[in-house]
Amino acid sequence: MQRRSRRLLAVISAVAAVAFAAPAAVAAPQEAASESELAATRPAFRMPFECGQRWLGSNWNGHSPGHSIDWNHYAADGSTDDYGRRVFASAGGKVIASYYSTSTGYGNTVVVGHGNGWQTRYAHLKTRAVQRGDSVNRGQKLGRVGKSSALYNLSPHLHYEQIHNGQVVVSVIQGVRWYDYLKRYQTSKNRCG
Ligand SMILES: [Zn+2]
């Protein structure tokens, strides 16, 4: 989601809520898995795009949820040409959700489960090509890049998350660790045969 101001407001609200809450009302933070624990089970995720396509990814400061990556594709003249490009599964698994969210900013969303607590989320899609319960192979089409969102007026991009045990984690894609707030180009090795 590319709306910084709303995120800042949300942060300020959250800080205020914590400040005024009684200590007993503050939930204990969940202990996150260590990087070595994550590395032991993380699937070999590929970029969710066609082989050879070069996309600019960014998990910008203030992005919600943290660690998410927004992907954009640019034409030779520098204009964006993401809209309608095909989105493919980063790894094989089972579709655990395919829906249009009216309560979050995700819009058309697909979530794929990969086992061992791992999931990937693909949001703001123009179209969805899979349904809950479908089995998908790595590189199988999930939908097309869009700008759908019930809450935000977006420019087209793919919002992408790697999730472990329900928490969005720092993505690792084709060996690249997408630490906060990395912004860089990466070329897809998905569907390269
Ligand atoms: Zn986003």
Side-chain-side CA neighbours of residue 6 (13 Å) = 11
The three-class DSSP label of residue 33 is: coil
User: How far does the centroid of ligand 1 lie from the alpha carbon of residue 23, in Å?
Assistant: 32
**Alpha-carbon distance 73 to 118, whole Å?**
26
38-96 pLDDT, tens digit per residue, is: 999 999 999 999 999 999 999 999 999 999 999 999 999 999 999 999 999 999 999 99
| CATH T-level assignment (fold) for domain 44-187 | Glucose Permease (Domain IIA) (2.70.70)
User: How far does the centroid of ligand 1 lie from the alpha carbon of residue 63, in Å?
Assistant: 6
Q: If residue 20 lies in a helix (H) or strand (E), which one and from where to where?
A: helix 4-20
Tokens of 193: 């045969």
Ligand 1 (single-atom ion) residues, CB below 5 Å: 1, 70, 159
- The reported pLDDT for the residue numbered 38 is 95
Angle, CA 185 vertex, CA 179 and CA 73 arms, to 5°: 120
118-175 pLDDT, tens digit per residue, is: 999 999 999 999 999 999 999 999 999 999 999 999 999 999 999 999 999 999 999 9
User: How far does the centroid of ligand 1 lie from the alpha carbon of residue 90, in Å?
Assistant: 17
Cβ(51)–Cβ(177) under 8 Å?
no
**Of 180, 150, 160, nearest to 45 (Cα)?**
160
Tokens of 173: 């894609």
Other beta carbons within 10 angstroms of residue 51's beta carbon come to: 15
Provide the CA 60 distance to its chain's centre, in angstroms. Answer: 13
User: How far does the centroid of ligand 1 lie from the alpha carbon of residue 53, in Å?
Assistant: 20
